[in-house]
Chains A and B, each alone.
Chain A
Amino acid sequence: MRALVLVFALIVALPAAAEDIVLGLSKDTVSINTSFDGSEILVFGAVKREAPIPDDPRLQVIVTVAGPDETVTVRRKEKVLGIWVNTDAVEIDRAPSFYAVSTSTALGLSLSNTEDLRHRVSIPRAIRSVGAPDTIADATRFTDALIRIKSRSNQYQLNEGTVSVDEQTLFRTAIELPAALTEGDYETRIFLTRGGKVVSKYQTSIYVRKVGLERWLFKMSRENALLYGIMSIGIAIAAGWAASAVFRIFRA
């Protein structure tokens, strides 16, 4: 899966800003088949300008990849009557199923707080949590827990300094997609910043799709649930019968 199929998608952005992004992706479609074990996407491009390179401050590049949004519930365990039980729960209205931020330098240096707020770049900003119940005072702990758990399984990544920038013109980075990946359009954004301010922005999508058997089974389980259930039982019955038949041959 890691072999990079170079499906070039070179798209020229509109020449509105002084510095524009010309982007390439190693592939714009990720296929989840039965042997899917994660994938790597190469994001690369160039900065197109009409004027000479501004001297100061230096150009920084930020790349974000976001999976489809989900509504999730984060639950906390507490000790009740001697056993650990889920008690408090906070619903997080919008959390990307996957989110990766790659930067050319520390995120705090390449993006100011206000710009982060506006463009929702850093991981905590990409998650939207409103309306935690009044009974829970420490709602931010639940968001922190979500980030911690998702980071552990590589589904949230902050990769500082992994975007390499040459001559303030060429940039490239690799984004690791984990094996546990959900389907959908993965919104990919590239920001050019100078002194913490976004000077240019580019947006495209990477399509993640189940293919072949995976697609067929998943679709069937949702659209023809009854038939899918009957098929599951049919396979089980056939396997049970086959095992018994083989066993009999061995005995005889």
Chain B
Amino acid sequence: MQVYLPIAEVSVNAFLLLGLGGIVGILSGMFGVGGGFLMTPLLFFIGIPPAVAVATEANQIVASSFSGVLAHLKRKTVDLRMGTVLLIGGLVGAALGVVVFNYLKAQGQVDLLVKLCYVVFLGVIGGLMFIESLNAIRKTKSGKPPARKKHNWIHGLPFKMRFRVSGLYISVIPPLLVGVSVGILAAIMGVGGGFIMVPAMIYLLGMPTKVVVGTSLFQIIFVTAFTTLLHATTNFTVDIVLAVLLLVGGVIGAQVGTRIGVKMKAEQLRILLAIMVLAVCGKLALDLLLMPSELYSVGASDGH
């Protein structure tokens, strides 16, 4: 069944979109990430204009993360205070990101930037996660207890604040900075930033893992909602028909994915996620490195 998308102005197969949403939903349900970092390149591949893919994906992440946060609120695994600090940083970052995005779009380099961002971040995160989970598997096999980080330079910063749910008493500067960087990424790449936010909260802020996912999702809702609004009012690139098709598949897939995820070990999940992330990264890197079959591209000239 073909559906004509009013904003993207292309006709796409509805079942293909439902399927894509479903598959990415399964993965995000399994791994606890938004899934935007996979969905946006997939949308590029099926011919959605990049600007529309990025803006619409932000809207879809609002749906999946809101659903996720409701479940976490019930289990009281959301640090609302930490979430709010991350959010303030995130909103600043999202506004900066949209400015950068619009500037690059005018320069014709938006494709390049989005792809470069993907390659660099997917490569770094995927690589680190792969090494970390390999080590974790090795350690559990040899029976050594995992090492716990104590104090580092982050604890020397001023403006300290108590985060009760996380059991932390740290400066607000690191969470603010983490928020800003994730906000910029969300706006430029159309991702919720969960796959960067989660490691940053665990490794940089030292938050307990059980509150990390819920807190990350809590602030992602607001950042992506804000990003959606900015894209809708400045670029007119949010395609609501595309968003609905994706999120229907996504929420169904997420249910299935969560059930699969429960049955797997944490290290196995992380290593699978790392391999998947590296595969996407490799594909995009090849696109940049190999000579394209068509050297020319056609775009609107004044940003409409």
Contacts and interface: CB of A to CB of B under 8 A. Distances in A.
Interface in B194-223: none
A228 B70 contact: no
B4 A35 contact: yes
A4 interface: no
B4 A179 contact: yes
B2 A233 contact: no
B251 A149 contact: no
A83 to B, nearest CB: 4
B282 interface: no
Interface in B234-256: 236, 238, 240-241, 243-244, 247-248, 251-252, 254-255
A135 to B, nearest CB: 15
A232 B236 contact: no
B297 A232 contact: no
A38 B67 CA distance: 37
A84 B111 contact: no
B299 A75 contact: yes
Given A236-B66, A236-B247, A237-B63, A85 B109 contact: yes
A239 B249 CA distance: 11
A226 B232 contact: yes
B4 A33 contact: yes
Given A34-B4, A34-B241, A85 B225 contact: no
A82 B289 CA distance: 6
B296 A232 contact: no
Interface residues of B, number: 57
**Interface secondary structure of B, over-half rule:** helix
Given A85-B112, A243-B255, A149 B296 contact: yes
A129 B238 CA distance: 31
A233 B65 CA distance: 12
Contacts of A36: 2, 4, 11
A228 B240 contact: yes
Given A218-B6, A229-B228, A233-B228, A77 B67 contact: no
A233 B60 CA distance: 9
Given A75-B297, A229-B233, A233-B59, A240 B240 contact: no
Interface stretch (A15-23, A49-57, A66-74): A66-74
Nearest to A141: B296
B108 to A, nearest CB: 5
B288 interface: yes
Given A37-B2, A179-B2, A217-B7, A72 B63 contact: no
15 contacts: A32-B4, A35-B1, A35-B4, A36-B2, A71-B301, A84-B289, A85-B112, A149-B294, A150-B298, A181-B9, A221-B240, A226-B232, A236-B247, A240-B251, A250-B255
